[in-house]
């Protein structure tokens, strides 16, 4: 099984009272970081066979692609013009309650799919893979954990990555004051430190005359406000 992240904000709505999250597990037509393009219709057969309206609805909504951390079976899962749209009523487990609150706190904003390729076309010249038909096993709510290293490798001109990190940092700072289970609280602390560290790294990479090879992994001994003030100054110099 392969995994593919949707690295744009993909949450349409969160209804806390009903425990329902709506959004997209994937989108059509854009070339992702794997040089893959998913075509409309790629999920048509798999949804007919195992989607919510099929005789054997088996596609799950997971947390971090972990089959032991099931959040829901989407009650709506369909293709529209944008991509693979879903609606899930999150189970009222301790994990489910934490995940729902993390959505509301805007800490969790991204999704991913677990899939197998059934039919594809490969353009060797452009090194692009067009995915024509996929077998979908699950859609997952994911954090930025898997993308941290990629973000740290961002080049000087990629200001949007800095802005996304700052937005995530602010959301985590708010969320960490909330009422979560001990395990989730520990994960929030780890994520907060990771993002602080990546912001510092990106800020130093933006400084004129600092070669990437000379960067030393910084220790975080400043506050988030100080980090943000520093990053703003560096952005102005880009």
| Domain identity same for 200 and 93 | no
Cβ pair 140, 114 in contact under 8 A: yes
Distance of CA 197 to the CA centre of its chain: 19
* Per-residue confidence (pLDDT) for residue 207, from 0 to 100: 60
| Domain identity same for 117 and 169 | no
* Per-residue confidence (pLDDT) for residue 208, from 0 to 100: 59
| Domain identity same for 102 and 9 | yes
| Domain identity same for 128 and 58 | yes
The boundaries of the domain holding residue 17 are 2-142
Strands 36-38 and 128-142: parallel
Q: Which neighbouring-strand residues pair with 122? A: 129
Q: What's the structural domain count of the chain?
A: 2
| Domain identity same for 104 and 41 | yes
Q: Which of these three, 142, 173, 190, is where a domain ends?
A: 142
Long-range CB contacts for residues 22-25, cutoff 8 Å, separation at least 24? 22/76, 22/85, 22/86, 22/87, 22/88, 23/85, 23/86, 23/111, 24/82, 24/83, 24/84, 24/85, 24/86, 24/111, 25/83, 25/84, 25/86, 25/111, 25/112, 25/113, 25/139, 25/140
Residue 196 DSSP SS3: helix
CA torsion 24-26-27-28 (nearest 10°) is -140
CA distance 93 to 10: 23
| Domain identity same for 152 and 132 | no
* Among 79, 87, 78, CA closest to 28: 79
* Per-residue confidence (pLDDT) for residue 110, from 0 to 100: 87
| Domain identity same for 101 and 175 | no
- Which residues have CB under 8 Å from 39's CB, separation 6+? 28, 29, 130, 131, 132
| Domain identity same for 159 and 135 | no
| Cα separations in angstroms, 192 against 63, 168, 224 | 19, 9, 9
CA distance 62 to 1: 14
* DSSP per-residue string spanning 46-76: HHHHHSTTSSS---EEEETTEEEEEEE--SE
Distance of CA 50 to the CA centre of its chain: 24
| Domain identity same for 186 and 220 | yes
Full-model pTM: 0.74
Q: Which of these three, 142, 173, 192, is where a domain ends?
A: 142
| Domain identity same for 135 and 17 | yes
pLDDT tens over the chain, length 238 residues: 899 888 667 899 999 999 999 999 999 998 887 889 999 999 999 999 999 999 999 999 999 999 999 999 999 999 999 999 999 999 999 999 999 999 999 889 889 999 999 999 999 998 899 999 999 999 999 985 444 443 333 333 444 466 777 787 888 888 888 889 998 888 888 888 877 877 777 666 656 555 544 444 444 444 445 555 554 454 444 4
CA distance 183 to 188: 9
| Domain identity same for 54 and 155 | no
| Domain identity same for 40 and 110 | yes
Q: Which of these three, 142, 172, 194, is where a domain ends?
A: 142
């Amino acid at each position: 099984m392969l995994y593919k992240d949707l690295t744009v904000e993909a949450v349409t709505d969160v209804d806390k009272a009903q425990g329902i999250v709506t959004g997209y597990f994937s989108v059509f037509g854009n070339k992702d970081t794997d040089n893959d393009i998913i075509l409309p219709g790629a999920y048509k057969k798999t949804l007919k066979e195992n989607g919510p309206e099929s005789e054997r609805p088996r596609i799950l909504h997971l947390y971090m692609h972990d089959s032991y951390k099931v959040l829901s079976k989407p009650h709506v899962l369909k293709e529209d013009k944008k991509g693979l749209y879903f609606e899930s009523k999150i189970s009222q487990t301790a994990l489910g309650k934490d995940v729902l609150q993390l959505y509301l706190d805007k800490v969790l904003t991204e999704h991913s799919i677990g899939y197998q390729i059934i039919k594809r076309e490969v353009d060797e010249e452009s090194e692009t893979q067009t995915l024509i038909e996929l077998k979908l096993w699950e859609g997952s709510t994911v954090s930025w954990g898997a993308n941290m290293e990629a973000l740290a490798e961002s080049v000087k001109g990629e200001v949007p990555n800095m802005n996304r990190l700052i937005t995530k940092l602010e959301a985590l700072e708010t969320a960490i004051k909330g009422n979560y289970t001990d395990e989730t609280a520990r994960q929030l602390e780890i994520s907060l430190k990771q993002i602080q560290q990546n912001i510092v790294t990106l800020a130093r990479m933006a400084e004129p005359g600092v070669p990437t090879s000379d960067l030393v992994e910084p220790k975080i001994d400043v506050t988030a406000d100080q980090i943000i003030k520093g990053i703003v100054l560096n952005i102005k110099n880009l």
